[in-house]
Amino acid sequence: TTHLVWFRADLRLHDNLALAAACRDSGAKVIGLFIATPEQWQAHGVAPRQAWFIRQHLHALREALSRRGIPLYTAQVDDFDACIPCIASFCDEHRVDALFYNYQYELNERKRDVALEKHLDGFVTCQGFDDSVVLAPGSVLTGNREMYKVFTPFSRAWLKRLDEGLPECVHAPKVRQHAPCEAPALAAFDYPQEPADETLFPVGEEAALAQLRRFCQNGAGEYETQRDFPAVDGTSRVSPYLAIGVLSPRQCLHRLLAEQPRTLDGGPGAVWLNELIWREFYKHLMTFYPALCRYQPFIGWTKNVAWSDDEAHFTAWCEGRTGYPIVDAAMMQMNQTGWMHNRLRMITASFLVKDLLIDWRRGERYFMSQLLDGDFAANNGGWQWAASTGTDAAPYFRIFNPTTQGERFDAAGEFIRRWIPALSSVPDKALHDPWRWADKQGVTLDYPRPIVDHKQARVATLAAYEAARKS
Ligand code: FAD
């Protein structure tokens, strides 16, 4: 018998449920396949950096699998529709009996998988796995068997489910007969690719696991007090690996519990676990509310907000030239590295929507085009949170003040100075509103003046949201 593992967002050897299941029968021949879909990626706005990261990990996975006697084939077709005939003919050619894959919960991905299973019905047995979450969507529900719309009760129910049994990690496949095998050449991807900084995000499963271990040993205990300060290396930075499945959330959970044994009693580690639960919350929500994948807001009336179409404002935001240092430094960090600190994602998203009154979906798309860790559910959830259009989102009248946010979370301006050298000589206290200081001193800065006045923008935004709510 021949077993095919269709790799998608699960580019790893360890704790890969589909791969492990395909390898369980030691007599079966196991082969892997990855299909690049450039037009689909284009439509989904996948960042060239993430495409590059995927390709680097395919190289690594291909080597690791061939050492174990599993050839990984790659192919390229236009889009998800074209994956179906591609897999069908691949199954034919390789006489595949069973197909193993890990679920993806986004709408187009789910439609593709349903169509594929229908197409292969009667020829190839298909088995899907809930691999990219600790607990499967649909397994954490209210008493009325509905999806939670608020995070805190969801997280409580999630933890209770965990008490009933901790999902274990599965082993990497054993070396199979005829190992090592030849690794098939990697097909070209006709998609723009941009290398990411490997000193920040080294390529490979081993490197990702090492980063996770280091953080769980040294950072997870202090996460609660460190996580809000972008100048501090206080968060795990494992998001790029989770997004393309080089790490699994079960590995994160088990490593955390091993290093921080009091996590489940609310001890050190619990706050980091809470972030992993947010990740699951958004994935579950997206499964229950497919409209989220169609760029619909969760709160209906927010569709009526009269968004601004000021292109100069949008470009200034994208390029980090708003005149608000914390916003601009954050955008520089993302534009240059593909990663942005969570506190800054909240500040920059809030600024685009609540200070510039620009449609959150434009920001969501721009983030996706830059992020190495671009993940539809987390990104959409984060944007809808910041824009007050989502479930359990910030209320629309809560508007971050970008100047005081900077003062609170980058008091000495260490982060700002790192990304905006033109402000390096401005004193700490003046750094968050540098022109006020510069004008008093008679100094000219090589830095833009604020493109909007926060107080006025706040009033206009409140009025726009209130008008939308009443309409
Ligand atoms: P840590 O703080 O160490 O957290 C550990 C892991 O938990 C993260 O790697 C991530 O997988 C998950 N996580 C943490 N916070 C959140 C959250 N609020 N929602 C969902 N999952 C979370 N995260 C992405 O992975 N991809 C995105 O495209 C993305 N876009 C975002 C857009 C906005 C506007 C906002 C406000 C948040 C977004 N996030 C996104 C969530 C969060 O900012 C990042 O997951 C986090 O900054 C990644 O850094 P880390 O790995 O050091 O996180």
Mean of per-residue pLDDT scores for the chain: 97
Secondary structure class of 229 (helix, strand, coil): coil
Q: What is the pLDDT of residue 427?
A: 95
pLDDT tens-digit readout, 408-444: 999 999 999 999 999 999 999 999 999 999 999 999 9
pLDDT class of 468 with cuts at 50, 70, 90: very high
DSSP letters along 135-161, please?
Answer: S-TTSS--TTS---SSHHHHHHHHHHH
- Considering only CA atoms, which of 166, 102, 110, 104 is closest in space to residue 131? 102
Q: What value does the mean pLDDT take over residues 370-384?
A: 98
Distance of alpha carbon 240 from the chain centroid: 7
The Cα–Cα gap between 131 and 194 comes to 28
b/e per residue 409-419 (b: at least 16 CB within 10 A): bbeebebbbeb
Signed CA dihedral, 431, 350, 285, 46: sign only: negative
Q: What is the pLDDT of residue 405?
A: 98
Is the pLDDT confidence value at 149 over 90?
yes
Q: What value does the mean pLDDT take over residues 165-185?
A: 94
pLDDT class of 185 with cuts at 50, 70, 90: very high
Question: So where are the chain's domains?
Answer: 2-132, 133-167+204-288, 300-470
Q: What value does the mean pLDDT take over residues 21-44?
A: 97
Residue nearest to atom 50 of ligand 1 (CA): 237
Q: What value does the mean pLDDT take over residues 32-43?
A: 98
Q: What is the pLDDT of residue 65?
A: 97
The Cα–Cα gap between 237 and 233 comes to 9
- Considering only CA atoms, which of 56, 3, 9 is closest in space to residue 176? 3
For a substitution probing ligand 1, which of 275, 285, 388 has the most ligand atoms within 8 Å of its CB? 275
Atom of ligand 1 nearest to the CA of 363: 34
The Cα–Cα gap between 386 and 346 comes to 6
Cα-based distances in Å from 122 to 6, 20, 98, 119, 128: 18, 24, 11, 9, 16
Cis peptide before 240 (omega within 30 of 0): no
Helices then strands (H, E): number in the chain? 20, 5
Q: What is the pLDDT of residue 422?
A: 96
The Cα–Cα gap between 344 and 350 comes to 10
Block residue for tokens 């791969």: 19
Instruction: Please count the other Cβ atoms lying within 10 Å of the Cβ belonging to residue 157.
Output: 17
∠ CA 305-306-312, rounded to 5°: 125
Cα-based distances in Å from 343 to 231, 326, 350: 11, 10, 11
Is the pLDDT confidence value at 77 over 90?
yes
pLDDT class of 121 with cuts at 50, 70, 90: very high
Q: What value does the mean pLDDT take over residues 233-238?
A: 98
pLDDT tens-digit readout, 202-211: 999 999 999 9
Catalytic residues: 275, 278, 307, 342, 360, 383
For a substitution probing ligand 1, which of 238, 239, 392 has the most ligand atoms within 8 Å of its CB? 239
Q: What is the pLDDT of residue 387?
A: 97
pLDDT tens-digit readout, 290-320: 999 999 999 999 999 999 999 999 999 999 9
Domain 2-132 falls in which CATH fold? Rossmann fold (3.40.50)
Secondary structure class of 410 (helix, strand, coil): coil
Secondary structure class of 462 (helix, strand, coil): helix
pLDDT class of 178 with cuts at 50, 70, 90: confident
Is the pLDDT confidence value at 271 over 90?
yes
Domains 2-132 and 300-470 belong to one CATH topology:
no
Instruction: Please count the other Cβ atoms lying within 10 Å of the Cβ belonging to residue 137.
Output: 18
Q: What value does the mean pLDDT take over residues 158-177?
A: 96
Enumerate residues lining ligand 1, CB below 6 A.
227, 235-239, 242-243, 275-276, 278-279, 282, 342, 345-346, 349, 367, 371, 373-375, 378-379, 381-383, 386
Strand partners, 102: 129
Distance 351 CA to ligand 1 centre (A): 18
pLDDT class of 39 with cuts at 50, 70, 90: very high
Radius of gyration over every alpha carbon of the chain, rounded to an integer in angstroms: 23
Distance 342 CA to ligand 1 centre (A): 6
The Cα–Cα gap between 199 and 292 comes to 35
H or E element that contains 436: helix 434-441
Secondary structure class of 98 (helix, strand, coil): strand
Q: What value does the mean pLDDT take over residues 205-226?
A: 97
pLDDT tens-digit readout, 317-373: 999 999 999 999 999 999 999 999 999 999 999 999 999 999 999 999 999 999 999
Q: What is the pLDDT of residue 392?
A: 87
User: What is the DSSP code (8-state) at residue 334?
Assistant: H
Residue nearest to atom 33 of ligand 1 (CA): 382
The Cα–Cα gap between 294 and 298 comes to 11
Q: What is the pLDDT of residue 64?
A: 97
Distance of alpha carbon 225 from the chain centroid: 23
Domain 133-167+204-288 falls in which CATH fold? 1.25.40
Q: What is the pLDDT of residue 393?
A: 86
Structure-derived torsion over alpha carbons of residues 455, 433, 412, 202, reported in degrees to the nearest 10: 80
How many Cα neighbours within 13 Å face the side chain of 42?
A: 10
Q: What is the pLDDT of residue 410?
A: 97
| Class of the domain covering 300-470 | mainly alpha
Instruction: Please count the other Cβ atoms lying within 10 Å of the Cβ belonging to residue 380.
Output: 25
Q: What is the pLDDT of residue 179?
A: 87
Distance of alpha carbon 367 from the chain centroid: 10
ipTM exceeds 0.95, yes or no:
yes
